[in-house]
Amino acid sequence: MKQQKWVLLVALALVWGSSFILIKKGLAGLSPIQVGASRIVFAALFLMLIGANQVAKVPSFKWKYIALTSLFGTFIPAFLFATAQVYISSTVSAVLNSLTPLNTFIIGIIGFGATFVRRQMLGVVIGLSGSLILILNGAANHPEQDYRFAAFIVIASICYAINVNLINKFLSDIPPFTITVGNFAVMLVPASIVLACTGIHENISDQSVVHALFFVAILGIVGTGLANIVFFKLIQISSPVFATSVTYLIPVVAFCWGLFDGESLTLIQLLGAAVVLSGVYLAAKKR
C-alpha cells in the first residue's frame, strides 16, 4: 500500500504537470470558456462510455456530495485555469497551484475540524509569502502578463482543497471510479450547454479549432477523467494532505514543459516558487 501511493503520486504529477501546457495549446484556437467546457465534456463522454453503470452505484443520499465535489473539484477550476492562462504563463499557474495542500490544511481546520501544530501555521505564512514574491516579481518583470489573474489560480486551489476535504469526510466509502463517473455525470449537461452557447459549432471546421480540440481532448480524457480516478484512489489509501502533495511535483513537470515551449521564470520568481513549496511542506508535515 505504501509503495502504491508513491507510484500513484508520481503518475499524477506527470499527468497534471502536463495539463498546463495542454491548456495553453487549447487556448491557441479556443476561448477560455470553450477550453474549460470542452475539457469537461470530453472527460464526461469518455467516463460515461466506460463506466455508465457506476451511476447506479451511488447511494441517493450521497448525490449532494457528488454534486459538490464535481463543482469544486473540476467545474469551477476548469474555467478559472483556462481564463488565468490567457494572462499568465503556464509555469506560474503550476507553481501557484501548489498552494493546494496548504489550502487543504487551512480548509480542514476551518470547516472539517482538523488539528494542527505551530510548525504548520508557520508553513501557511511562508507559503503565502512565497506566492506574493512570485506574483509581485512576475508583474514587475513581465509587464505583458496581467498578474491580477493569478488570483484565479489561488481560488482554484481553494476549490481543490474544499473538494479533497469533502471526499475524505463524506465519500471515503465509495470506490474512486464510481465517484469520478458520478462527478462527470453531474457536469455533462451543464458543460455541454455552456459549450454550445459559445458558438463553437460555427468554427468546428477551422483547422486551428480542430488542432486545439485535439489537445483539449487529451487534457479531458487523460488529465481530467483518468487522473481523477487515480486521485480519488490516492486520497482513500493515504490522506487528503498527502494526496494534494502531488502539487510539489507538478511545477517541476510544468517548468520543463514551459522551457520547451519558450517560457521562463526570473531568479526571484524561482526563489518565490521555492518559498511556496517550503511553506507547503511545513504545512503538510505533522511531526
Query: Which cell numbers in the block locate residue 147?
Result: 498578474
Cβ burial of 11 (10 Å; 0-12, 13-18, 19+) is: middle
Which range has highest mean pLDDT (91-100, 165-174, 200-209)?
165-174
What is the pLDDT, as a whole number, of residue 166? 93
Q: What is the pTM of this model?
A: 0.84
271 contact partners, CB below 8 Å, separation of at least 6 = 133
Cβ burial of 247 (10 Å; 0-12, 13-18, 19+) is: buried
In the chain, % of residues over pLDDT 70: 93
| pLDDT for residue 287 is more than 60 | no
- Average pLDDT (226-233) is 86
What is the pLDDT, as a whole number, of residue 116? 63
In the chain, % of residues over pLDDT 90: 44
Cβ burial of 31 (10 Å; 0-12, 13-18, 19+) is: middle
Reported as a pLDDT band with limits 50, 70 and 90, residue 286 is: low
Is residue 170 a contact partner of residue 62, using CB atoms and an 8 Å limit?
A: yes
Written as one string, the DSSP assignment of 209-278 is: HHHHHHHHHHIIIIIIIIHHHHHHHHHHHS-HHHHHGGGGTHHHHHHHHHHHTT----HHHHHHHHHHHH
What is the pLDDT, as a whole number, of residue 3? 77
Which range has highest mean pLDDT (62-66, 167-171, 205-209)?
62-66
- Average pLDDT (201-219) is 90
What is the pLDDT, as a whole number, of residue 49? 94
What is the pLDDT, as a whole number, of residue 2? 66
CB under 8 A, 24+ apart: contacts of 48-57: 48/181, 48/184, 48/185, 48/188, 51/177, 51/178, 51/180, 51/181, 52/181, 52/185, 54/175, 54/177, 54/178, 54/181, 54/182, 55/181, 55/182, 55/185, 57/174, 57/175, 57/178
What is the pLDDT, as a whole number, of residue 80? 97
What is the pLDDT, as a whole number, of residue 23? 93
Dihedral over alpha carbons 24, 29, 31, 33 (to 10 degrees): -80
Instruction: Give pLDDT tens digits for 82-130.
Output: 999 999 988 788 878 877 877 887 888 888 876 766 776 777 777 778 7
